[in-house]
Amino acid sequence: MQTIHRMNTITDTNFSFPNQKSVYHGKVRDVYNINDELLVMVATDRLSAFDVVMPKGIPYKGQILNQIATKFMELTSDIVPNWLIATPDPNVAVGHLCSPFKVEMVIRGYLAGHAAREYALGKRMLCGVTLPEGLKENDKLPNPIITPSTKADNGEHDEDISREEILSKGIVSKADYEVLENYTHKLFERGTSLADARGLILVDTKYEFGKTKDGKIVLIDEIHTPDSSRYFYSQGYSQRQERGEEQKQLSKEFVRRWLIENGFQGKAGQQIPVMNAEYIASVSERYIELYENILGETFNKGDITDIHKRIENNVQNFLTEK
């Protein structure tokens, strides 16, 4: 049974591609450096919540994240340049080698998730941004706000940080940070418009940026996926807010809620609850639902008979032909 599970999800990789220099294993993606020129980014089926990677993978999750991200890269390339070159496999994106900025640009249009939890604790300042009094969870904010976080290394938690701290600590130069802010607002505006066309509200999201060898700032990693973003259904939003009901949403929040209900928030001493086969299957189905609602397309499942071999062959062929 264990062998079948490993064959049908990809939770770890150890590829050896032509001209490979190094590999970085992130929470969800494994990134291979090819000759200090290209990055091969493999979206695995790992599930991360509260900055902790869960023990078991979710079938098709990596394919879903990769295909949503690459689609939105294409749909925003006219306003913000990105790192993407090709997608030789459903789980793989290949792009330009970039030096990533050490911050994640989180932007929020509504009081939800982490921001709502902080607000409920009485905090009215988030990442140096003052929040108005009298807000309810999931209320729309007067204007979208940027609440950056530090980009954590493996095993560490992302931390909220203000614009002022980023600049004073020299994490990002003022000139570069202004570009990141501008790009973040542009992407969120476009994402909001694309979501609206699908009957969705883009509630909050995060963007990551890097610099190419020639100093160009580009969008990297993922964009507008259910792992990096939160969506509400537009229909009935106002009525649910008026009645104080939970919003119908498309995001990874349903996993976080399940973990919280089962006594886990990534804090010291807490045990990760067991995810049985039925729950894993339900999470996989939920991610497929997210894909189809966000993109308005039917999800075509990739061949997962031996996902490792499929990825290896497709990437090898791409690099050999390039």
105 plus 246 within the same structural domain = yes
Q: Is the pLDDT of residue 104 over 70?
A: yes
78 plus 193 within the same structural domain = no
Binned at pLDDT 50, 70 and 90, residue 3 comes out as very low
Q: Collapse the DSSP code of 164 into the 3-class scheme (helix H, G, I; strand E, B; otherwise coil) and give the result.
A: helix
Binned at pLDDT 50, 70 and 90, residue 5 comes out as very low
Q: Please tell me the distance from the alpha carbon of residue 219 to that of residue 105, in angstroms, as a whole number.
A: 11
Q: Output DSSP code: residue 91.
A: T
86 plus 118 within the same structural domain = no
Q: Is the pLDDT of residue 61 over 60?
A: yes
Q: What is the pLDDT of residue 157?
A: 60
Q: Is the pLDDT of residue 300 over 50?
A: yes
205 plus 309 within the same structural domain = no
For residue 57, the number of C-alpha atoms closer than 13 Å in the C-beta half-sphere is 25
pLDDT digits (tens, 9 = 90+) for 225-282: 988 999 999 999 999 999 999 998 887 878 888 999 999 998 889 999 999 999 999 9
Mean of the pLDDT values across residues 82-102?
97
104 plus 239 within the same structural domain = yes
Tell me the CA distances in angstroms from 39 to 97, 141, 242, 277, one per residue in order. 5, 37, 47, 34
- Which residue segment(s) compose the domain that 106 sits in? 100-250
User: 76, 82 in Cβ contact below 8 A?
Assistant: yes
31 plus 83 within the same structural domain = yes
151 plus 229 within the same structural domain = yes
Mean of the pLDDT values across residues 52-67?
94
pLDDT digits (tens, 9 = 90+) for 172-214: 999 999 999 999 999 999 999 999 999 999 999 999 999 999 9
Q: What is the DSSP string of 33-51?
A: EETTTEEEEEE-S--EETT
The widest CA-to-CA distance across the chain, in whole angstroms, is: 59
CATH at residue 237 = 3.30.470.20
Total number of domains constituting the chain: 2
Any idea which of 134-143, 152-161, 312-321 has the lowest mean pLDDT? Answer: 152-161
Residue 297, amino acid = E
Q: What is the pLDDT of residue 168?
A: 97
Q: What is the DSSP string of 239-297?
A: HHHHHTPPPPEESTHHHHHHHHHTT-SS-TTPPPPP--HHHHHHHHHHHHHHHHHHH-S
